[in-house]
């Protein structure tokens, strides 16, 4: 009986619950930002965005037989790694992140671009590879988009729930590094772009999960992918705390 009730619950509602739990529990989101954590985020996340959008997410596009969805994935990847003409003034997201690093006093050429992935980042790439490469495309699409969902308002508590994760990062980086409005584009653009990027996932799960009988699988994909994201961010936090500045 309880099982039947669980089945019947809307799959989007169940995925939203998983994202909400992520936003509430992950330390990086809920603990204060520090100089060390922010700089480590710039170094690692530039690499991570490039890896995910030039390798992992494209594999999901390869596996997807629905033409419009396939193109939507490729389009989102192109904004991240080639040029975002809609929200990023023609720059790729990783370029805008590099610039943010410059604004907080980092050397782009000799520091940011020379960074190697942390062991924790490498482990996460391997874990995501397992979750994105040889999987049903709908599970892959959840993997592509579930973390971007946290940038939409409505998950977690307090300010995160009001403004989304990057809405909060925007404000606290502004305070910590005394940044001007025009230096915070990285977070600003994600509030808009990630609504589109994550809607691609959420709308298609709503559309296809039932048709394919995959409701439980997509919810589980969301849960497990966010466990990897939690470990990725824990790795950044730990390294940030180790280097301090």
Query: Given the rule CB under 5 A, which residues bind Fe ion?
Result: 80, 93, 148, 194, 197
In the DSSP assignment, the letter for residue 82 is: T
Angle at 154 between CA 28 and CA 211, to 5 degrees: 105
For Fe ion, the nearest residue by Cβ is 93
Closest distance to Fe ion from the beta carbon of 94 (Å):
8
Closest distance to Fe ion from the beta carbon of 147 (Å):
9
Question: What is the rounded CA–CA span in Å between residue 88 and residue 84?
Answer: 5
The nearer residue to Fe ion, 50 or 172, going by C-beta atoms, is 50
Closest CA to 194 of 161, 145, 243, 232: 145
The nearer residue to Fe ion, 89 or 119, going by C-beta atoms, is 89
28 close to 37: Cβ distance less than 8 angstroms? yes
Closest distance to Fe ion from the beta carbon of 187 (Å):
10
Closest distance to Fe ion from the beta carbon of 91 (Å):
11
Closest distance to Fe ion from the beta carbon of 193 (Å):
5
Question: What is the rounded CA–CA span in Å between residue 52 and residue 38?
Answer: 20
The nearer residue to Fe ion, 26 or 96, going by C-beta atoms, is 96
The nearer residue to Fe ion, 69 or 214, going by C-beta atoms, is 69
The nearer residue to Fe ion, 80 or 98, going by C-beta atoms, is 80
159 close to 63: Cβ distance less than 8 angstroms? no
204 close to 137: Cβ distance less than 8 angstroms? no
């Amino acid at each position: 009986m309880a099982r039947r009730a669980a089945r019947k619950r809307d799959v989007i509602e169940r995925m939203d619950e998983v994202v909400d739990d992520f936003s509430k529990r992950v330390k990086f989101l809920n603990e204060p930002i520090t100089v060390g954590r922010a700089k480590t985020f710039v170094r690692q996340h530039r690499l991570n965005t490039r890896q995910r959008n030039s390798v992992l997410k494209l594999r999901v596009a390869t596996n997807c037989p629905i033409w419009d969805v396939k193109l939507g994935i490729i389009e989102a990847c192109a904004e991240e790694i080639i040029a975002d003409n809609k929200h990023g003034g023609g720059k790729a997201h990783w370029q805008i992140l590099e610039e943010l690093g410059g604004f907080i006093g980092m050397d782009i050429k000799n520091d940011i671009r020379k960074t190697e992935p942390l062991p924790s980042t490498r482990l996460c790439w391997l874990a995501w590879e397992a979750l994105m490469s040889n999987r049903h495309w709908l599970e892959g699409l959840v993997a592509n988009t579930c973390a971007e969902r946290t940038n939409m308002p409505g998950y977690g508590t307090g300010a995160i729930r009001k403004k989304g994760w990057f809405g909060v990062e925007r404000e606290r980086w502004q305070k910590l590094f005394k940044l001007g409005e025009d230096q915070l584009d990285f977070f600003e653009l994600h509030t808009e772009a990630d609504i589109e990027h994550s809607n691609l996932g959420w709308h298609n799960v709503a559309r296809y999960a039932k048709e394919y009988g995959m409701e439980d699988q997509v919810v589980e994909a969301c849960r497990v992918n966010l466990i990897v994201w939690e470990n990725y961010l824990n790795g950044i936090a730990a390294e940030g705390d180790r280097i301090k500045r």
